[in-house]
Amino acid sequence: MTVGIGQQTLTFLGTGTSFGVPQVGCECAVCASEDPRDKRTRVGAVVESRGARILIDTPPELRMQLISCRVAHVDAVLYTHDHADHTHGLDDVRGLASPEAGTLRIYGPSEAIESVRRKFAYVFDSVKPIPGTSKPEAELHTLAAGEPVTIAGQTVTPFDVPHGNMRVFAYRVGDVGYVTDAKELPAAALAILRGVKVLVLNALFRRPHPTHLSISEAVETAKTVGAARTYLTHLTHRIAHAELEAELPDGIRPAFDGLRVTVS
């Protein structure tokens, strides 16, 4: 599938695992590193095209991430799945919708959407805030795997990826493929990603992990997809940025918080 939508930008808000880096109570070399690229908040990103922005996930540090990356508004939110490190910053969408977008629209797999509705019921109820106060206001929409939709002017195709016993969506947004929590890419996923220019893949450890791609598995998966540029995310405190960057092949790089990539 080839989708041409003009220039896009991809901003990595956070690139760490559910623990973040530094990890609480850890004094390892990476947690103590002075390299700012080794400071990794929980994973999230923004894809922008023609001024319209799609936020992927709402990690717990969302407010500080948006401030750091100077993102003042978004037009929609995509959820990948229901793990806490991907959803528990939802309250920070308060006032985040652009005037053009109005009420913020949130999209994702049915399981994640229903869980978010339960956990953050106050966001989606009909109760109006007391005058002089505010609360997040958003509406929920369920997506179907493999069915392209237009969201904030961008063509978005969700697809299933295996992640233990949880259903997870990865996304193709125009020429960007975004996969944060996957053990592998099934044939259907590879077909949807065919022709992407920028690919994002999770890469947890050097050793195998039951629910995530390892670094070596991510590298082989990137070669199979064949994007011109691949960025590794969901990184742990076991790997220093500079160390990983030095060992990766051409066209594959570790992402870091605040990295902004232009997609021609």
Q: Write down the domain spans for the chain.
A: 8-263
pLDDT-based confidence at residue 199 (cuts at 50, 70, 90) = very high
How many other CB atoms are there within 10 angstroms of residue 91's CB atom? Answer: 15
Judged against a pLDDT cut of 90, whether residue 15 lies above it is answered with yes
The bridge status of strand 176-179 relative to strand 166-173 is antiparallel
Mean of pLDDT over the chain: 92
Residue with tokens 């922008």: 48
67-71, 135-139, 148-152: the lowest-pLDDT one: 135-139
Residues 4 and 253 sit within 8 Å (Cβ to Cβ): no
What pLDDT is stored for residue 99 in this prediction? Answer: 64
Nearest Cα to Cα of residue 174 among 139, 150, 204: 150
152: region left, alpha or beta (phi > 0 left; psi from -120 to 50 alpha)? left
Strands across the sheet containing 176-179: 149-151, 154-163, 166-173, 176-179, 198-202, 229-233, 252-254
> Residue 79 in contact with residue 87, Cβ under 8 Å?
yes
**Average pLDDT rounded to a whole number, residues 65-75:** 95
Count Cβ atoms below 10 Å from residue 32 Cβ, excluding itself. 11
Give the pLDDT confidence score for residue 5 in this predicted structure: 45
Q: How confident is the model at residue 2 (pLDDT cuts 50, 70, 90)?
A: very low
76 close to 104: Cβ distance less than 8 angstroms: yes
CB 169 within 8 A of CB 79: yes
Among 3-12, 22-31, 200-209, where is mean pLDDT lowest? 3-12
pLDDT in the model for residue 100: 65
Task: Average the pLDDT over 152-176 and give the result.
Answer: 93
pLDDT band of 3, cuts 50, 70, 90: very low
Mean pLDDT for 109-134 is 90
Q: pTM score > 0.95 for this model?
A: no
Check if the beta carbon of residue 261 is closer than 8 Å to that of residue 195: no
Rounded average pLDDT over 134-140: 86
**Residue 6's pLDDT is what?**
57
Over residues 175-200, the mean pLDDT reads: 95
Give percent above pLDDT 90 in the chain: 78
Confidence of residue 101 (pLDDT cuts 50, 70, 90): low
Percent of residues, the chain, with pLDDT higher than 70: 95
Closest CA to 59 of 174, 180, 154: 180
Task: Look at domain 8-263 and name its CATH class.
Answer: alpha beta
Mean pLDDT, range 161-173, rounded to an integer: 89
Give the per-residue pLDDT at 227. 97
Q: Residue 14, Cβ neighbours under 10 Å: how many?
A: 31
User: With 0-12 CB in 10 A as exposed, 13-18 as middle and 19+ as buried, what is 49?
Assistant: buried
Phi/psi at 36 (5° precision): -60, -20
